Amino acid sequence: MMAEPLPFDPYAILAALERRRVNYVVIGAFARVVQGAEEITHGLDVVPAIRAENLRRLALALDDLGASRVDGERVVLDEATIHGEAPLELSSPAGELKVVPEPAGTRGGYDDLRRAATREPIGKGLRPSVASTADLARMLAALGRETDVPKLIALRRLQALERDLGPELGL
Protein backbone atom coordinates (compact mmCIF):
# COMPACT_ATOMS: atom_id res chain seq x y z
CA MET A 1 0.00 0.00 0.00
CA MET A 2 1.35 3.43 -0.95
CA ALA A 3 1.37 6.29 1.51
CA GLU A 4 -0.90 9.18 0.67
CA PRO A 5 1.12 12.14 -0.62
CA LEU A 6 1.44 15.13 1.64
CA PRO A 7 -0.51 18.22 0.60
CA PHE A 8 1.29 20.72 -1.60
CA ASP A 9 -0.13 24.19 -2.07
CA PRO A 10 2.60 26.38 -3.53
CA TYR A 11 0.15 29.29 -3.74
CA ALA A 12 -0.31 29.28 0.06
CA ILE A 13 3.45 29.17 0.67
CA LEU A 14 4.23 31.91 -1.85
CA ALA A 15 1.32 34.06 -0.64
CA ALA A 16 2.69 33.89 2.92
CA LEU A 17 6.13 34.99 1.69
CA GLU A 18 4.61 37.81 -0.36
CA ARG A 19 2.37 39.02 2.50
CA ARG A 20 5.44 39.41 4.70
CA ARG A 21 7.41 41.01 1.82
CA VAL A 22 10.20 38.44 1.98
CA ASN A 23 12.95 38.90 -0.63
CA TYR A 24 13.53 35.47 -2.22
CA VAL A 25 14.06 33.65 -5.50
CA VAL A 26 12.28 30.37 -6.28
CA ILE A 27 14.63 27.60 -7.43
CA GLY A 28 14.45 23.83 -7.85
CA ALA A 29 11.78 21.75 -9.52
CA PHE A 30 8.97 24.26 -8.99
CA ALA A 31 11.03 26.98 -10.69
CA ARG A 32 11.81 24.62 -13.56
CA VAL A 33 8.09 23.90 -13.97
CA VAL A 34 7.28 27.62 -14.01
CA GLN A 35 9.98 28.08 -16.66
CA GLY A 36 8.41 25.35 -18.83
CA ALA A 37 9.95 22.04 -17.76
CA GLU A 38 7.79 18.94 -17.68
CA GLU A 39 8.30 17.78 -14.12
CA ILE A 40 6.22 17.03 -11.08
CA THR A 41 7.17 18.40 -7.70
CA HIS A 42 5.81 18.16 -4.20
CA GLY A 43 7.77 20.96 -2.58
CA LEU A 44 9.09 24.47 -2.98
CA ASP A 45 12.72 25.61 -2.74
CA VAL A 46 13.58 29.26 -2.11
CA VAL A 47 16.75 31.28 -1.74
CA PRO A 48 16.14 34.20 0.63
CA ALA A 49 18.19 37.35 0.97
CA ILE A 50 20.38 36.75 4.02
CA ARG A 51 19.87 40.06 5.75
CA ALA A 52 18.62 40.38 9.31
CA GLU A 53 15.37 42.19 8.42
CA ASN A 54 14.56 39.76 5.60
CA LEU A 55 15.22 36.77 7.85
CA ARG A 56 12.85 38.31 10.42
CA ARG A 57 10.14 38.61 7.75
CA LEU A 58 10.84 35.05 6.58
CA ALA A 59 10.45 33.79 10.15
CA LEU A 60 7.08 35.57 10.41
CA ALA A 61 5.94 34.01 7.11
CA LEU A 62 7.00 30.57 8.35
CA ASP A 63 5.04 31.14 11.56
CA ASP A 64 2.01 32.17 9.48
CA LEU A 65 2.33 28.88 7.57
CA GLY A 66 2.74 26.82 10.73
CA ALA A 67 6.05 25.55 9.36
CA SER A 68 8.42 23.49 11.44
CA ARG A 69 11.60 21.62 10.82
CA VAL A 70 11.10 18.08 9.59
CA ASP A 71 12.17 16.86 13.04
CA GLY A 72 9.18 18.77 14.49
CA GLU A 73 11.21 21.49 16.15
CA ARG A 74 10.22 25.15 15.85
CA VAL A 75 12.16 27.17 13.30
CA VAL A 76 14.61 29.74 14.64
CA LEU A 77 16.07 31.91 11.90
CA ASP A 78 19.26 33.89 12.05
CA GLU A 79 22.39 33.93 9.89
CA ALA A 80 24.11 31.21 11.92
CA THR A 81 21.10 28.88 11.82
CA ILE A 82 20.39 29.38 8.15
CA HIS A 83 23.99 28.67 7.15
CA GLY A 84 24.47 25.91 9.73
CA GLU A 85 21.52 23.83 8.56
CA ALA A 86 21.65 24.47 4.84
CA PRO A 87 19.32 23.61 3.31
CA LEU A 88 16.76 24.16 6.02
CA GLU A 89 14.07 21.54 5.37
CA LEU A 90 10.63 22.49 6.63
CA SER A 91 7.14 21.07 6.53
CA SER A 92 3.86 22.90 6.86
CA PRO A 93 0.18 22.21 6.28
CA ALA A 94 0.73 23.73 2.80
CA GLY A 95 3.59 21.36 1.98
CA GLU A 96 7.34 21.03 2.06
CA LEU A 97 9.61 24.06 1.87
CA LYS A 98 13.39 24.15 1.60
CA VAL A 99 15.24 27.33 2.46
CA VAL A 100 18.55 27.24 0.63
CA PRO A 101 20.89 30.12 1.51
CA GLU A 102 23.54 29.39 -1.13
CA PRO A 103 22.64 26.77 -3.75
CA ALA A 104 25.35 24.77 -5.50
CA GLY A 105 26.69 26.61 -8.52
CA THR A 106 25.90 30.10 -7.25
CA ARG A 107 28.19 32.81 -6.03
CA GLY A 108 26.41 34.42 -3.13
CA GLY A 109 22.97 32.81 -3.36
CA TYR A 110 20.19 35.41 -3.53
CA ASP A 111 22.37 38.27 -4.76
CA ASP A 112 23.70 36.10 -7.60
CA LEU A 113 20.30 34.74 -8.65
CA ARG A 114 18.22 37.91 -8.43
CA ARG A 115 20.11 39.59 -11.30
CA ALA A 116 18.53 37.28 -13.92
CA ALA A 117 15.38 36.23 -12.02
CA THR A 118 12.03 37.31 -13.39
CA ARG A 119 8.66 37.89 -11.74
CA GLU A 120 6.44 35.17 -13.21
CA PRO A 121 2.63 35.33 -13.10
CA ILE A 122 1.50 31.94 -11.77
CA GLY A 123 -2.12 32.77 -10.99
CA LYS A 124 -4.06 33.89 -7.93
CA GLY A 125 -2.40 37.30 -8.18
CA LEU A 126 1.05 35.91 -7.41
CA ARG A 127 4.20 36.90 -9.29
CA PRO A 128 7.10 35.25 -7.46
CA SER A 129 10.69 35.92 -8.41
CA VAL A 130 11.86 32.79 -10.26
CA ALA A 131 15.44 31.90 -11.19
CA SER A 132 16.32 32.06 -14.89
CA THR A 133 16.64 28.88 -16.93
CA ALA A 134 20.38 29.54 -17.24
CA ASP A 135 20.76 29.78 -13.46
CA LEU A 136 18.57 26.72 -12.91
CA ALA A 137 20.76 24.76 -15.34
CA ARG A 138 23.93 26.02 -13.66
CA MET A 139 22.68 24.94 -10.22
CA LEU A 140 21.53 21.54 -11.47
CA ALA A 141 24.85 20.92 -13.25
CA ALA A 142 26.81 21.89 -10.13
CA LEU A 143 25.06 19.17 -8.13
CA GLY A 144 26.63 16.59 -10.45
CA ARG A 145 23.92 13.97 -9.98
CA GLU A 146 23.45 11.50 -12.80
CA THR A 147 19.70 11.39 -12.13
CA ASP A 148 19.53 15.10 -13.01
CA VAL A 149 20.96 14.69 -16.53
CA PRO A 150 17.53 14.45 -18.26
CA LYS A 151 16.36 17.55 -16.37
CA LEU A 152 19.52 19.39 -17.39
CA ILE A 153 19.03 18.43 -21.04
CA ALA A 154 15.44 19.72 -20.88
CA LEU A 155 16.63 23.01 -19.37
CA ARG A 156 19.25 23.40 -22.10
CA ARG A 157 16.48 22.91 -24.70
CA LEU A 158 14.38 25.57 -22.97
CA GLN A 159 17.38 27.92 -23.03
CA ALA A 160 17.79 27.32 -26.77
CA LEU A 161 14.09 28.05 -27.36
CA GLU A 162 14.33 31.23 -25.32
CA ARG A 163 17.38 32.29 -27.32
CA ASP A 164 15.83 31.43 -30.70
CA LEU A 165 12.26 32.61 -30.08
CA GLY A 166 12.94 35.30 -27.50
CA PRO A 167 13.22 38.22 -29.95
CA GLU A 168 9.99 37.15 -31.70
CA LEU A 169 8.11 36.91 -28.42
CA GLY A 170 9.61 40.04 -26.90
CA LEU A 171 11.60 38.10 -24.29
- Please give the Cα distance from 20 to 142 (Å, whole number): 31
Q: What are the two backbone dihedrals, phi and then psi, of residue 162, each rounded to the nearest 5 degrees? A: -60, -40
11 vs 84, more confident: 11
pLDDT computed for residue 166 by the predictor: 60
Q: Domain total for the chain?
A: 1
- Tell me whether residue 5 is in a domain: no
Q: What is the CATH number of the domain that holds 108?
A: 3.30.460.40
- Tell me whether residue 102 is in a domain: yes
Question: pLDDT digit string (tens) for 118-169?
Answer: 999 999 999 999 999 999 999 999 999 999 998 999 999 888 888 887 656 5
Please state the pTM of the whole predicted model.
Answer: 0.91
Q: Which domain holds residue 72?
A: 10-163
Question: pLDDT digit string (tens) for 24-78?
Answer: 999 999 999 999 999 999 999 999 999 999 999 999 999 999 999 988 877 778 7
